[in-house]
Amino acid sequence: MRQDLKQIEVEKLESFFYSVQCAQAPLLLLDYDGTLADFRINRFEARPWAGVRELLAIIQKDKRTRLKVITGRPAGEINAMLQLPEPVEVWGLHGAERLLVDGTREMQEAPPEAREKLDELRAQLRQYALGGLFEDKPNGVVMHWRGHPQRQAKSIEQRTRVLFEPAAEVNGLSLLPFEAGIELRAGRDKGGAVQAIVEQADADVPVTYLGDDLTDEPAFSAINQTPNPHLSVLMRREWRETAAEVWLQPPDQLRWFLRRWEMALNRTGAAGLRMADPTEIRLRA
Ligand SMILES: [Mg+2]
């Protein structure tokens, strides 16, 4: 595994953690699947990587960090998976749903024609899932092909696109491709969720977002565009073209990031400017 970072990435990390060190209420925004936890075909088995829950619990106990998860899953699933001492705020369904820590749930309403089209597709896909795994969401329909051999995956994708692409023309609906599937959905995307969160925060609040998938790209772009101190992080084993400012590899560099966050809160680690442990992160040529 590569553990080296480019100089520009190190500089961005250092200056961001310096802003966290000085902040009263920094925003730590996290995707769940692929970012905090490895993928499982059965998503209810996707638990956080070793040590991640403990690090998040330490950050949470400090009380300053506003920790929020932005996920494609229904929001209600996340706190049961994370099992932190306190529940966190979750923006579910890629941002269309918001679940506050007191249990209050807000859901964006889709236009009637979008809801009608989704109902029609649900009925159809329940009968026959085109060879893939059909997932029914309150604001969309999803086709997964993770785990299928490449040729089979391609054929599921083609058949799904024949069905979803014309439907995406309906008012309120859009296509959201991700790495092993595609979703036809209504409502805010992750970029919209980041924007809504940042708009409610003060202008000097540092904000970061960690994500792995194509659906996280709008969130990276939204982070990059805020005037607040910010950092967008692609947390993914393999590099890919991305809007994120920094690429880190889970789970080691995720643990490193969270430890570094905790150190910034405690203003330790060479006044917060040095990397936590130079043997963990080296410069990428
Ligand atoms: Mg993900």
Residue with more model confidence, 194 or 280: 194
CA of 269 to the centre of ligand 1 (A): 30
How far, in Å, from the CA of 213 to the mean position of ligand 1? 5
Question: What pLDDT, on a 0 to 100 scale, did the predictor assign at position 6?
Answer: 87
Dist. CA 220 → ligand 1 center (Å): 13
How many Å lie between the centroid of ligand 1 and the Cα of residue 33?
A: 4
- pLDDT score of 274 more than 80: no
Q: How far away, in angstroms, is 38 Cα from ligand 1 center?
A: 9
Name the CATH superfamily, with its identifier, for domain 4-108+189-283: HAD superfamily/HAD-like (3.40.50.1000)
Query: What does the pLDDT read at residue 270?
Result: 47
Centroid of ligand 1 to alpha carbon of 51 (angstroms): 18
pLDDT-derived band of residue 273, with 50, 70 and 90 as boundaries? very low
Q: Where are the domains of the chain?
A: 4-108+189-283, 112-186
> Alpha-carbon distance 232 to 158, whole Å?
32
Confidence band of 41 (pLDDT split at 50, 70, 90) = confident
Question: Domain 112-186 carries which CATH code?
Answer: 3.30.70
- Span 78-104, average pLDDT: 97
Question: What's the 253 CA to ligand 1 centre distance in angstroms?
Answer: 16
Is residue 73 a contact partner of residue 32, using CB atoms and an 8 Å limit? yes
Ligand 1 midpoint to CA 192 (Å): 16
The alpha carbons of the chain give a radius of gyration, in whole angstroms, of 19
Is the confidence at residue 107, as pLDDT, over 90? yes
Dig out the tokens for 40 from the structure.
């499982």
